[in-house]
Amino acid sequence: QKEVEQNSGPLSVPEGAIASLNCTYSDRGSQSFFWYRQYSGKSPELIMFIYSNGDKEDGRFTAQLNKASQYVSLLIRDSQPSDSATYLCAVKTDYKLSFGAGTTVTVRA
């Protein structure tokens, strides 16, 4: 079992809709959870992080964490064409981050 698994995608959503991205992790000791966005040919950039169970909102992005279910998600509200990218889930355990393979999102106008 991979340490971090994401829904495989690709995910296509119409402009203005909500994009929902899911991530599960295997290590119950994981402490912090991150979402990165990566445009084609570019390096990952941090969108947001979450440590505690529940929701965390930042602009159009909401991260949700459920440690009991070992599940973290990212919602993108009012999706824009500029949100078209690959989204990486990362989980911190001990000294390192483990990354999922990513979910590619396409927002169609």
The footprint of other proteins (CB under 8 A) covers 31-32, 34, 42-46, 49, 51, 88, 90, 92, 95-102
Angstrom distance (rounded) from CA 84 to CA 100: 18
Query: What minimum distance in Å lies between the beta carbon of 31 and other proteins?
Result: 7
Minimum CB distance to other proteins smaller for 35 or for 79: 35
Minimum CB distance to other proteins smaller for 79 or for 91: 91
Minimum CB distance to other proteins smaller for 18 or for 101: 101
Residues in CB range of 5: below 8 A, 6 or more apart: 23, 24, 25, 100, 101
The half-sphere exposure of 44 on its side-chain side, counting CA atoms within 13 A, is: 17
